Structure 1
Amino acid sequence: MKKIKLLLYALPLLCFEQQAQAQDTDSEAEAISDIIDYASPSVTGMGRSRGVVVGYERLPQFDVDSESDDPRVGNGSAHVRRNNQFFMRSLAPLMNRPQTKLILGIGYSIEEFNFDELTNGSYPLYSYLEDRDLKSLGLQLAYLHSIDERRFYLIRIKGDLNGDYTRDDINIADYLKTTIDLAYGWKKSPDYVIGVGAQLGYTFGRKSIYPGILYNRTFNPKWGVESIFPANARLRYNANEKTLFYAGYRLEGASYNLYASEPPLSEFGDLELRRTDIKGLVRMEREIYDFLWFAVEGGFRQYYRNRVYDKVGSRDELIHNDLAGAGYIGVELYLVPPRSWVDEN
């Protein structure tokens, strides 16, 4: 039984992530350093490791203006009443050895746009997106290896099915997006970790290679920093062992394949919506009961890029969307190992 508890407790994962995932990886990696002396991405003071996360986020009330050089599409503008996103994530250890961890992760999210006063003949992109579920179903494997007490590396491979598919018309080849993360780090002390890495992924919409610098540091029992620059950075305040506060920013990117069935968008076949947002945020994490925690996050979302392309993987922009900045609010509920398991080990 003790071995089972130890296995469930050690759910580490460091990743260079896009929308709702970069913020979780450092806390999920924390468990290793408490069990063994080998190097890991964690530092003292980080939040409890997470097994299952369920969350919801809403951006209310913002304007959007769209332009296209193609006369069949033209220009348009509208008011977005709300932009919703629901997500679930879970992690499970497939291998848990002193120097080597293999973690399986599964994630699912749905994003939806609701517009004000759309009528027949409204701008085709808005009519298409209204109440349509943009889905992301992901599977990932993360391999974390500690070389010794000071050095570690990570390899992560992830596949996502991103787009407007349903169970009746899904084709894996049409919607599959792959991401690869590589990282190498040094644990200077229990309070200080630094590393370098790169991601082949969609943080800025189109699939490209992006560098990253890991910097996790705890300055004293109350204050610390957790960051994978430039993707995200957060200042951490440990109010007590049951309450943590954060302030910082996060880059989020996504790419959705769209298959419109009505003209004029249907004339282009397989479209691709790519977006990148920058979020300034404040966040609180609080224990509800031993193994059950919740988080509340809010801030301001400013879009960096939002485009529709005339073909998946194309560089030819069909629609240029200009989204106004907007406040947002999100909530999460997640499971962590009970303290009795931690104390026993």
Structure 2
Amino acid sequence: MCFVLPAQAQAPETEALEEFASPGVRGMGKSRGVVISYDRLPNFDIDSESDDPRVGNGQGHIKRHNQFMVRAFAPILNKPQTKLIVGVNYELEEFNFEGLSESSYDLYRYLEDKNLKSLGLQVAYLHSLNERNFYLVRVKGELNGDYTHDNINITDYLKTTIDLAYGWKKSPDYSIGVGLQWGYTFGRQRVYPGILYNRTFNDNWGVESIFPANLRVRYNANEKTLFYAGYRLEGASYNLYVDEPPLSEFKDLELRRTDIKGLLRMEREIYDFLWFAVEGGFRQYYRHRLFDEVGSRDELIRNDLAGTGYVGVELFLVPPRRFTEKNR
């Protein structure tokens, strides 16, 4: 769940926080315009079970699970009281299995080197009612699945997420809020509640959280280096159109996953507007299922993926310091 605006949520100290409320607090990282990231999860086992005799059970070993992401955000309206942000994203993930052959489990052979893509557009609207109260509306549409440029059909792959939130700015160092998301954090589209809690305790320590989706303890070593420790829930839903039996006997398959990552993260300025981040930790899948129809509750295949460590790197652009200093 996301209550905060991707490009403006960090509430830079340049804004007069005593005049208009916002979700961010002092000490949070800078707002981001463009983000490029890559995660790798190596060497873990997978066990699959199905009650359908045509599909059967399987076991395998995944050498690599790669995740790549590019996001860009731009303010269409950027006034002290009202902000309208437009964002685009392109994400993909792929599985590389060990020792596949013609007799290997059908799902594994299909997923091998298959790019599961997500191409999205979002619009977020943040409005401050006064110096204490604010609300956020975000609408996001994504094309999620195994499509290529030759077979893409918007109606077949479109997934929609809506966020609504209302919050209170207690002080420049303390912000809370409540909200709802209609989305895919736990795989299947449904309504999920959330509680925003952002608080800076002193010059070095703070907490950033949208519970239960994520929580991070922040340590500000200095203005150019930040450290985090916490967890993050991640979920996805992909529509699959398989052309080989036995999976091709099911017209509209849907792969849903939910996992939790315990993480350690460092963010560091490279040069003024350019930052990088390194993140690592342990990922445990909560649920990984293939369904016989999009939106169905009937599980065709239940996958059990072993927990594994992961590492990620990220580059992102932030507003140049000379730009923000003009607004002081």
| TM-score category, normalised to shorter length | over 0.9
Shift of the alpha carbon at 1:32? Answer: 6.0
Unaligned runs of 5+ in 2: none
Shift of the alpha carbon at 1:338? Answer: 1.2
Q: Which residue of 76, 94, 98 maps to 1:94?
A: 76
1:343 matched to 2:300? The reply is no
Alignment deviations for residues 9-45 of structure 1 (CA, whole Å, 9 cap, x no partner): xxxxxxx24xxxx8x8578412466323200001000
The 2-side partners of 1:162 and 1:342 are apart by 36
Shift of the alpha carbon at 1:321? Answer: 0.2
Q: 1:94 is matched by which residue type in structure 2?
A: I
Partner of 1:34: 14
Most deviating of 278-287 and 93-102: 93-102
Most deviating of 92-101 and 274-283: 92-101
Partner of 1:4: none
Most deviating of 91-100 and 174-183: 91-100
More helix per residue? 1
Q: Which residue of 218, 221, 228 maps to 1:239?
A: 221
- Residues 281, 310 of structure 2: 8 Å contact kept: yes
Matches within 5 A, 1:58-73: 58-73=40-55
Partner of 1:297: 279
1:171 matched to 2:153? The reply is yes
Shift of the alpha carbon at 1:291? Answer: 0.5
Shift of the alpha carbon at 1:67? Answer: 0.2
The 1-side partners of 2:235 and 2:55 are apart by 25
Alignment deviations for residues 82-137 of structure 1 (CA, whole Å, 9 cap, x no partner): 00011000101111223111110100001000000000021000000000000000
- Residues 197, 209 of structure 2: 8 Å contact kept: yes
Partner of 1:45: 27
Partner of 1:13: none
Matches within 5 A, 1:138-149: 138-149=120-131
Aligned residues: 325
Find runs of 4+ consecutive structure 1 residues off by over 3 angstroms: 24-28
The 2-side partners of 1:206 and 1:105 are apart by 23
Alignment deviations for residues 271-308 of structure 1 (CA, whole Å, 9 cap, x no partner): 00000000000000000001100000000000000000
Partner SS state of residue 14, structure 2: helix
- Residues 256, 274 of structure 1: 8 Å contact kept: yes
The 2-side partners of 1:45 and 1:244 are apart by 9
Unaligned runs of 5+ in 1: 1-15
- Residues 7, 74 of structure 2: 8 Å contact kept: no
- Residues 110, 136 of structure 1: 8 Å contact kept: yes
The 1-side partners of 2:251 and 2:26 are apart by 51
- Residues 5, 126 of structure 2: 8 Å contact kept: no
Partner of 2:182: 200
Q: Which residue of 76, 82, 96 maps to 1:114?
A: 96
- Residues 12, 30 of structure 2: 8 Å contact kept: no
- Residues 86, 121 of structure 2: 8 Å contact kept: yes
The 2-side partners of 1:30 and 1:284 are apart by 17
Q: Which residue of 246, 264, 285 maps to 2:267?
A: 285
The 1-side partners of 2:13 and 2:152 are apart by 42
Partner of 1:250: 232
Q: 1:170 is matched by which residue type in structure 2?
A: I
TM-score, L = length of structure 1: 0.92
1:155 matched to 2:137? The reply is yes
Q: 2:185 is matched by which residue type in structure 1?
A: T
Most deviating of 31-40 and 208-217: 31-40
Shift of the alpha carbon at 1:246? Answer: 0.1
Partner SS state of residue 237, structure 2: strand
1:225 matched to 2:225? The reply is no
Most deviating of 35-44 and 138-147: 35-44
Q: 1:295 is matched by which residue type in structure 2?
A: A
1:185 matched to 2:147? The reply is no
Alignment deviations for residues 183-220 of structure 1 (CA, whole Å, 9 cap, x no partner): 00000000000000010000000001000000000000
